[in-house]
Structure 1
Amino acid sequence: MDNIEGGYVRLLKPIITINTLILGMVSTPLIAQQSTLNMTEGVTGISHTVYNLHMTILYICIAIAVIVFGIMFWSLYQHRKSKGAVAAKFHESTTVEIIWTAIPIVILIGMAIPSTQALILMEDTTEADITIQITGSQWKWHYRYFDHDLEFYSRLTTSQAEINNEVEKQPHYLKEVDNPLVLPINKKVRFLITADDVIHSWWVPAFAVKKDANPGFINEAWTKIDTPGTYRGQCAELCGKDHGFMPIVVTALEPEAFDDWLAQAQVTAKQQLQAEQQSLTQTMDMPTMMSLGEDVYNRTCLACHQASGQGIPGAFPALKNSPVALGNVNKHIDIVLHGVSGTAMASFAKQLTKKELAAVITYERNAWGNNTGDIVQPSQIDAALTDNNQ
């Protein structure tokens, strides 16, 4: 048995030496310059922790691979038939078996300790400076700033012409939105993440934040951004037809600049509310409502119901010559306001202004040859919402 154990020691010495040399050559360029094939280091403390953990485990895996394959190839070469090697006849060594069982256990424990610490840190949402509710819906994000009376939707702004390869694609193709989430740097931001239809996933790689948005549940995450800038992500859970058209854009500002943005955003929200209240007393004509309605339709309805109004057979119903668009106008209003349970038709009551809702319904009832002549007014939308709340 002593000869067996001595043989293992003699075998390991050259492998360990080779391993040390290879690790020295491999690790230096990896540390000096982050590969484009590697995961990103990010801009938050958590992302740095995750990146360092990833690199540590990568080096451990490289070391194990070099040792195991080194022993294997060395053994094949050293004990080849052409050299006259004869297979040894011996039984197991209890000492060796204990060693090669104990070493993996020690390695796993060594990997588990920093991994567990990182997971605990990622779940610690206490003592947050700002809390934001994130709600995913097909196929957009809704952001609500707690304690600041501000909320808005964030939608893809890439043009349909780019998607159809009719024009040149812009640098941020499919990763640009109308209203980015704006956050301050050096502040702990707590996210409450949910959904109102199917499962989505809010993922921003630079923050090392990826959390599922489940209907009826609230998941928590947090971030603390180190550097101002614009950071992009996307929905990371297959959530339906336009899953690939649901980007996330976050703008990180200095705290003073964030306060200025927040104040301006609140003023703008109040002005929009006042404008909406004024629209309730106005009577809109057909050309005005059709023009606005077409714009709203192209932004919010086109993906499912198509530019022709013919929908996608078997998936999304047509609006052209449909019972909804040609039938009772109040039924049409109710569907647009509250959606249809069990389908991809979401509620648009909070996503659009009352004027926009009136305009898009007017457009659907008079486009593609429907020609009902109905002009839905913002006051009708307000009345429908009021009746529903009573």
Structure 2
Amino acid sequence: MHLQAKRLSKLALSPVLMLLSMLGTAAWAEEAQRWQTNLTPGVTELGAKIYDLHMTVFWICVWIGVVVFGLMFYSILTHRKSLGAKPADFHESTSVEIAWTVVPFIILIVIAFPATKTLLEVYDTDDADLDVMITGYQWKWKYEYIDPNGDNVSFFSNLRTGKTEIYNEDAKGQHYLLEVDEPMVLPVNKKVRFLVTANDVIHAWWVPALAVKRDAIPGFINETWTKATQTGIYRGQCAELCGKDHGYMPIVVNVVEEAEYKNWLNEKKSQAAEIKALMSKNFSLDEQMAAGKEVYDKSCAACHGANGEGGVGKAIAKSPIATGALATHLDVGVNGVPGTAMQAFGGQINDVEMAAVITYQRNAFGNNMGDVVQPIDVYNFKQGK
């Protein structure tokens, strides 16, 4: 009986767990309390509708449970053997069979109407005011704001929580593992369409307060949307087990007034213009070493070690790649190494940063090759020149 009860409890919980997974509007919404068990409406009209649908279905299920278990316990108590009850001798009842077929059918129809209406809204990405391409990488997100005139803005969003917090050397901050160096910025009261894909493995972009959860699959583009009605900072995470550092892939969305959003976007466009201007500049070895160290510490040290000693990845110090032909080194940095943990960074950092970090790797950690790689060298390599 105990084993059977556990099985029944799991069966009863499975539809609820499936609904939670599909709707994805609980957990770390900014206004949610830690360990709360119910969903939250979030800060979108769609999120409120999903929440209302959830509560409607929940109370229907509660009343079904009350009626079914009430009849069951009534039958057990009033027709038990100790009261002298005799078992009835019959095989079937056409009326009962019709009833337990028709009543659930009617209940499902009643649930289907609001559920279908809400699902149609979930997948209605038409008439968006803004398009943002979201690409999942191990273990970061790339955001590209698509401009109809081709003046796109793109950047990567990385975990900002320090290693000292992760390894318990320092106290954990308020938003431990839920803070990034570059948050996504969206205007309030604007419909934003997300085009979600991935560069390497399957990820999932999930922000509960915005009522958004969509799989990021390499080679496919999935669409979803949101329209936040309140300004604020809303946090989420990758909701797909994407590798050993899956828990280090947070999402932060800053919803601001339209004027502030336009100022932010113009600043990003100015930064892109500055990087474009740097493409034609020749940097000294000292300049490239200083800039390269920043890029290395941010993008390379986690795998190759703070001092180039290696770890998850191979050592940079005295490496045959870092001390070999420059073309081979550029190929590894730009295109990665298929079948290994070495990712292709050609699309993750710009040509200015790539030139700096290659220069740094070839001259740091005792390598001392004397090479000074310029941004135009990286550009020409990518073009096959």
**Which TM-score band (shorter chain)?**
0.7 to 0.9
Cα drift, residue 336 of structure 1 = 0.6
Describe the SS at the equivalent of 1:107: helix
Deviation digits for residues 203-237 of structure 1 (CA, Å, limit 9, x no counterpart): 11111111111111111111111110111111111
Letter aligned with residue 121 of structure 1:
E
Q: What corresponds to 1:377 in structure 2? A: 372
Give the 5 Å matches for 1:237-316.
Answer: 237-274=240-277, 276-277=278-279, 280-285=281-286, 289-307=288-306, 309-312=308-311, 316=313
Contact 1:334 1:384 in 2 (8 A): no
Describe the SS at the equivalent of 1:248: strand
CA distance in 1, matches of 2:59, 2:305: 51
Q: What corresponds to 1:65 in structure 2? A: 65
Describe the SS at the equivalent of 1:202: strand
Cα drift, residue 335 of structure 1 = 0.8
Q: What corresponds to 1:88 in structure 2? A: 88
Unaligned 5+ segments in structure 2 are: 1-30
Letter aligned with residue 236 of structure 1:
A
Deviation digits for residues 65-87 of structure 1 (CA, Å, limit 9, x no counterpart): 11111111222211223222222
Describe the SS at the equivalent of 1:144: strand
Letter aligned with residue 227 of structure 2:
K
Describe the SS at the equivalent of 1:66: helix
Q: What corresponds to 1:122 in structure 2? A: 122
1:337 to 325, 331, 334: 334
TM-score for both structures, normalised by structure 2: 0.84
Cα drift, residue 354 of structure 1 = 3.7
CA change 1:78–1:375 in 2 (3 A) is farther
Letter aligned with residue 246 of structure 2:
H
CA change 1:257–1:353 in 2 (3 A) is same
CA distance in 1, matches of 2:37, 2:71: 29
Q: What corresponds to 1:99 in structure 2? A: 99
Q: What corresponds to 1:150 in structure 2? A: 153
Describe the SS at the equivalent of 1:96: helix
Work out which of the two has the higher radius of gyration on C-alpha atoms and give 1 or 2. Answer: 1
Letter aligned with residue 228 of structure 1:
T
1:386 to 365, 380, 384: 380
Q: What corresponds to 2:357 in structure 1? A: 360
CA distance in 2, matches of 1:65, 1:319: 63
Contact 2:203 2:217 in 1 (8 A): yes
CA change 1:112–1:206 in 2 (3 A) is same
Describe the SS at the equivalent of 1:183: strand
Root-mean-square deviation over aligned CA pairs? 2.2
Deviation digits for residues 56-114 of structure 1 (CA, Å, limit 9, x no counterpart): 11111111111111111222211223222222223422111101111111111222222
Letter aligned with residue 298 of structure 2:
R
CA distance in 2, matches of 1:318, 1:241: 20
Describe the SS at the equivalent of 1:326: coil
CA distance in 2, matches of 1:216, 1:91: 57
CA distance in 2, matches of 1:93, 1:160: 68
CA distance in 2, matches of 1:283, 1:320: 22
Give the 5 Å matches for 1:155-234.
Answer: 155-234=158-237
CA distance in 1, matches of 2:364, 2:282: 25
Contact 2:351 2:378 in 1 (8 A): no
Contact 1:175 1:247 in 2 (8 A): yes
Describe the SS at the equivalent of 2:302: helix
Q: What corresponds to 1:3 in structure 2? A: none
Letter aligned with residue 52 of structure 1:
D
Describe the SS at the equivalent of 2:253: strand
2:137 aligned with 1:137? yes
CA distance in 1, matches of 2:258, 2:323: 52
Describe the SS at the equivalent of 2:321: helix
Higher mean C-alpha deviation, range 291-300 or range 48-57: 291-300
Describe the SS at the equivalent of 2:285: coil
Contact 1:359 1:376 in 2 (8 A): no
Higher mean C-alpha deviation, range 319-328 or range 330-339: 319-328
Indicate the percent of aligned positions where both proteins have the same amino acid. Answer: 49
Describe the SS at the equivalent of 1:293: helix
Report how many aligned residue pairs link the two structures: 349
Letter aligned with residue 251 of structure 1:
N
Cα drift, residue 303 of structure 1 = 2.7
2:74 aligned with 1:74? yes
Contact 1:354 1:378 in 2 (8 A): no
Contact 2:363 2:371 in 1 (8 A): no
CA change 1:310–1:241 in 2 (3 A) is farther
Higher helix share: 1
Q: What corresponds to 1:317 in structure 2? A: 314
Deviation digits for residues 334-383 of structure 1 (CA, Å, limit 9, x no counterpart): 21122223433222224334443233234434445xx221244342x422
CA distance in 2, matches of 1:263, 1:193: 24
CA distance in 2, matches of 1:68, 1:331: 71
CA distance in 2, matches of 1:68, 1:94: 19
Letter aligned with residue 332 of structure 1:
H
CA change 1:52–1:311 in 2 (3 A) is farther
CA change 1:205–1:375 in 2 (3 A) is farther
- The ranges of structure 1 where at least 4 consecutive aligned residues each deviate by more than 6 angstroms after the TM superposition are none
CA distance in 2, matches of 1:69, 1:270: 68
Unaligned 5+ segments in structure 1 are: 1-32
Q: What corresponds to 1:9 in structure 2? A: none
